Amino acid sequence: MAGSITYNADSTKFDLDYIFTTTSGGTVFSANLKDETAFDLFSDSAVVDDAIYFGITKNSPYLPLSDLYLNIGTALSAVGLTITWEYWCKINYSYIGQKVDAKYSVSGAWVEMDSLGNDANNFTTTGETAVRFPWQLYQNYNVTVNGIANVWWIRARITALTSISEGGATQTSKVQTNDGKIYPADYEEGSPCTFQTISEYLATNFTYLEPTHMGSCLYHFSAFGLSIPHGCYFETKHDLVEFGNCYSSSSR
């Protein structure tokens, strides 16, 4: 049987624990909309700093959320609109001998997301759409949003706006997310899965993740999980692998 790989497949989607929309410059929060199948995304009189928050609890069996799946029934319509996708970033341990980009925060801050694939076009495309992103570097749950702590948060915040006529709305189904993991399956001893196999799969199917293969054994990936089931053969030999900006190496 030929081996296969999946990443953020339909079978691993799950519901969020929190969804909040905001008004008045992001200061007034809605009720929790996680179970709603239809709700307004932004007010028709939205202003800069209004935002939508998506979250899962720290104690969820999943790590930080990856991808958002939305069914847009009414497209957002605005002039001069910029929506910035952000996550809470805090580096809470020391990286000895490793340079950390100044973008990331030691004290804690909302920072713009990396490796974003915005199929939803910031809520202007109707139908079943997705905002695609891997786990974010140094994402942290040490922030309180609407009185709620210990949550992995992603937010879509209006950072520029001239005028708005329609804030957009979802329809039919709940917003969901995914677990951000690579799942190889059915690879056999004579033809095992390798980091090269994963790199080629991502380069073909998820170009926004920008996987890089340099030389014969150096790989760069965005941050994701790797879940290898029992009985699936995975081989690594003299590989140097970078996930996000954290390195792992193998000599066998």
- Give pLDDT tens digits for 168-225: 999 999 999 999 999 999 999 999 999 999 999 999 998 888 788 877 778 878 778 8
Q: Share the mean pLDDT of the chain.
A: 88
- Give pLDDT tens digits for 21-30: 999 999 999 9
Fold for domain 11-178? Jelly Rolls (2.60.120)
- CB-count burial class (<10 Å; 0-12, 13-18, 19+) for 233: middle
How confident is the model over 70-82, as a mean pLDDT?
97
| pLDDT at site 211 | 84
Residue spans of the domains in the chain: they are 11-178, 180-249
| pLDDT at site 98 | 53
CB 167 within 8 A of CB 43: yes
Nearest-angstrom CA–CA distance, 232 and 186: 5
% residues pLDDT > 90 (the chain): 64
Nearest-angstrom CA–CA distance, 244 and 237: 20
Residue 78's pLDDT band (cuts 50, 70, 90):
very high
- Which two structure tokens, joined as six digits, stand for 188? 């056999």
Nearest-angstrom CA–CA distance, 52 and 19: 7
Decide if pLDDT at 9 tops 60.
Answer: yes
Residue 31's pLDDT band (cuts 50, 70, 90):
very high
Identify the H or E element spanning 203: helix 195-205
For the chain, what's the residue count? 252
Instruction: Please count the CA atoms within 13 angstroms of the CA of 108 that sit on its side-chain side.
Output: 7
- Give pLDDT tens digits for 33-74: 999 999 999 999 999 999 999 999 987 776 788 999 999 999
10 phi, psi to nearest 5 deg: -60, -35
How confident is the model over 137-164, as a mean pLDDT?
94
In this predicted model, which residue has the larger pLDDT, 251 or 215? 215
Decide if pLDDT at 154 tops 50.
Answer: yes
Decide if pLDDT at 150 tops 60.
Answer: yes
